[in-house]
Amino acid sequence: PIVVVGSVNMDLVGHCPAFPAPGETVLGSGFATVPGGKGSNQAIAAARAGGRVAFVGAVGEDAFAAPLRAALSGAGVDVSALRTVPGASGVALITVDGHGENTIVVLPGANSAVTLDGAGRELVGAAGLVVLQLEIPIEVVTAAATAAAAAGIPVLLNASPARELPEELARAVTVAVVNEGEARTLGDAVLSGIPHVVTTLGADGARYRGPDGRAVDVPSTPVTVVDTTGAGDAFTGALAVGWAEGGDPAAAVRRACAAGALATTVAGASTSAPTREAIDALLA
Ligand code: ADP
């Protein structure tokens, strides 16, 4: 299967006319709890895009654990290596003001306690592709990447949120997925050492650069944008499926662009990732 080792959060979203100043209280409206976290979102996106997917991560011992687990398993993701650890689940406190600006406080909670042992390590060793992001401890990301690489298993890293990579991690990556800001943070020297690099360009689609150094531009499909939240995760999930199925990397990037574009046409994050049928229909 595609094995995603990463984060899972409950996003707590509320709207207010204007953000409170420090010490101030304002009345808001429209509270929602939405499963999120890049790891979970990408696992769900890959499953919706038609992949066989397992998730390695952790939730806490709180009221969010069950719905977070259910969001993954409901999408068909194997959660046998989703551990329950003492304390709180990962949470993101999100406020959106009347202009659509947001503030976000991420509380990693159980994501800080993700380890690579037992069932998780076994899954990684048996994976067709390992998918990683940077929202769990970097030592765990590095351990998963090096274990996979040592076993000849390809490693797809979505280098988000942006940070520098330990050399050992960078050396284990087969394909990096970055937006333009993340590409700048990693820098050309690091990116040039990675065999395959996919740079997402928002409405302009994506660029793929392979081991031969040639760049291929893949345009996005023009769509009516409703909400770009989750587009990057839908892109990465669909790319993982295309990659795991083998074949032409540029074709996998085209599928990913279609998935990213479709995700912008619906509100929400993980719930906005398109199915394989919807991706096929857009590309037909
Ligand atoms: P991130 O949100 O991670 O910065 P991007 O904004 O580059 O990532 O978006 C990821 C992918 O989603 C793009 O490569 C593209 O396929 C799709 N996408 C994003 N915004 C749009 C848009 N306005 N129109 C069409 N596709 C989009």
62 contact partners, CB below 8 Å, separation of at least 6: 87, 88, 89
Which of 57, 113, 53 has its CA nearest to residue 81?
57
Which of 27, 33, 40, 39 has its CA nearest to residue 11?
33
**pTM of the full predicted structure?**
0.96
215 CA to centre of own chain: 24
Q: What is the pLDDT of residues 180-233, one digit of tens each?
A: 999 999 999 999 999 999 999 999 999 999 999 999 999 988 899 988 888 999
Residue 206: what are its φ and ψ, rounded to 5°? -155, 160
Report yes or no on 256 lying in a domain: yes
Distance, in Å, from the CA atom of 284 to the CA atom of 83, rounded to the nearest integer, reads 40
Residues with CB under 6 A from ligand 1: 179, 200-203, 205-206, 220, 223, 225, 228, 231-232, 235, 257, 260-261, 264
pLDDT at 100: 84
Report yes or no on 12 lying in a domain: no
Give me the domain span that covers residue 187: 2-6+36-90+109-283
Q: What is the pLDDT of residues 96-140, one digit of tens each?
A: 999 888 898 999 999 999 999 999 999 999 999 999 999 999 999
The tokens describing 58, both together, are: 């952790």
- Ligand 1 centre distance from Cα of residue 71 (Å): 23
CATH number at residue 163: 3.40.1190.20
- Ligand 1 centre distance from Cα of residue 224 (Å): 12
Report yes or no on 14 lying in a domain: no
Q: What is the pLDDT of residues 173-186, one digit of tens each?
A: 999 999 999 999 99
Is 14 annotated among the ligand-binding residues? no
Alpha-helical runs (H) found in the chain: 38-48, 65-74, 118-125, 138-150, 167-172, 180-192, 231-244, 249-263, 276-283
Report yes or no on 99 lying in a domain: no
- Ligand 1 centre distance from Cα of residue 151 (Å): 33
Task: Tally the domains of the chain.
Answer: 1
* 277: helix, strand or coil: helix
Is 177 annotated among the ligand-binding residues? no
**Is the model's pLDDT at 267 over the cut of 90?**
no
Report yes or no on 28 lying in a domain: no
Report yes or no on 24 lying in a domain: no
Is 268 annotated among the ligand-binding residues? yes
Report yes or no on 27 lying in a domain: no
Is the separation of the CB atoms in 280 and 258 below 8 Å? Answer: no
Q: What is the pLDDT of residues 154-166, one digit of tens each?
A: 999 999 999 999 9
Which of 249, 279, 261 has its CA nearest to residue 175?
249
236 CA to centre of own chain: 6
Report yes or no on 121 lying in a domain: yes
Which active-site residues does the annotation give?
233
96 contact partners, CB below 8 Å, separation of at least 6: 13, 14, 15, 16, 102
Is the separation of the CB atoms in 128 and 153 below 8 Å? Answer: yes
